[in-house]
């Protein structure tokens, strides 16, 4: 009887530390997984820092991203999976709105997505392009549609930040 707790104590850390390989359709997104990313951008005249972490979910059948802005005033979680020849995703936010859409990985490795926004008072669509450049930075540019008009929203360059953590309440601390 005493062997069962000992066996569980030995096996559970191994299972929890399991690194799942992504399915082939998600493999091009592997450079996103690892230490957290951190980027700073300007919003309403203020510098805002975003911490973002990617990890494999559903044993490599999905990619999860959790991000939070400094101080935890806003955050969101995205789940990306393959469906046919495209990628599908859903993004749930602490701001009371959600998005969902489709995406694809271009030949140059960039992830291109377009999403429909539900529950936001002004924005109804978003599209973005994200890629890891030759220096290892994650670059993301976003456009938003308000009142039927597309406009650039922001461009952010993220760098690996092994010590960065997500704001409390969004996900477990980032450790790499």
Residue of higher predicted confidence among 13 and 48: 48
User: What mean pLDDT comes out for the span 114-130?
Assistant: 97
pLDDT at 23: 96
What pLDDT shows up at residue 146? 97
Q: pLDDT averaged over the chain?
A: 88
The full set of domains in the chain, from first to last, is 21-160 (2.40.128.20)
Instruction: Tell me which residue of 157, 140, 137, 170 sits closest to 70, measured CA to CA.
Output: 170
Alpha-carbon distance values, 17 to 20, 64, 137 (Å): 9, 16, 26
Compute the average pLDDT of residues 122-139.
Answer: 97
The pLDDT of residue 172 is: 65
Burial (Cβ within 10 Å: 0-12, 13-18, ≥19) of residue 126 = buried
Whether the per-residue pLDDT at 25 is higher than 50: the answer is: yes
- Residues 137 and 37: their CA atoms lie apart, in Å, by 9
Query: pTM score, two decimals?
Result: 0.85
Residue 152 CA to residue 160 CA, distance in Å, equals 25
Confidence of residue 148 (pLDDT cuts 50, 70, 90): very high
How many Cβ atoms sit within 10 Å of the Cβ of residue 4? 8
Instruction: List the single range of 17-21, 22-26, 158-162 with lowest mean pLDDT.
Output: 17-21
């Amino acid at each position: 009887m005493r062997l069962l707790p000992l066996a569980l104590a030995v096996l559970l850390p191994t299972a929890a530390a399991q690194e799942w390989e992504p399915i082939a359709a998600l493999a091009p997104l592997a450079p996103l997984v690892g230490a957290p990313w951190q980027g700073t951008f300007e919003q309403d005249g203020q510098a805002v820092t975003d911490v973002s972490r990617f990890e494999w979910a559903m044993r490599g059948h999905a990619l999860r991203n959790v991000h939070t802005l400094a101080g935890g005033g806003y955050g969101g979680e995205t789940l990306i999976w393959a469906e046919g020849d495209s990628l599908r995703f859903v993004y749930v936010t602490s701001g009371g709105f959600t998005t969902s859409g489709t995406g694809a990985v271009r030949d140059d490795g960039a992830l291109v997505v377009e999403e429909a926004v539900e529950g936001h008072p002004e924005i109804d669509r978003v599209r973005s392009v994200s890629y890891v450049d030759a220096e290892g930075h994650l670059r993301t540019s976003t456009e938003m549609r308000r009142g039927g008009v597309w406009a650039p929203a922001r461009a952010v360059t993220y760098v690996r930040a092994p010590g960065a953590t997500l704001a409390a309440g969004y996900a477990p601390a980032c450790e790499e």
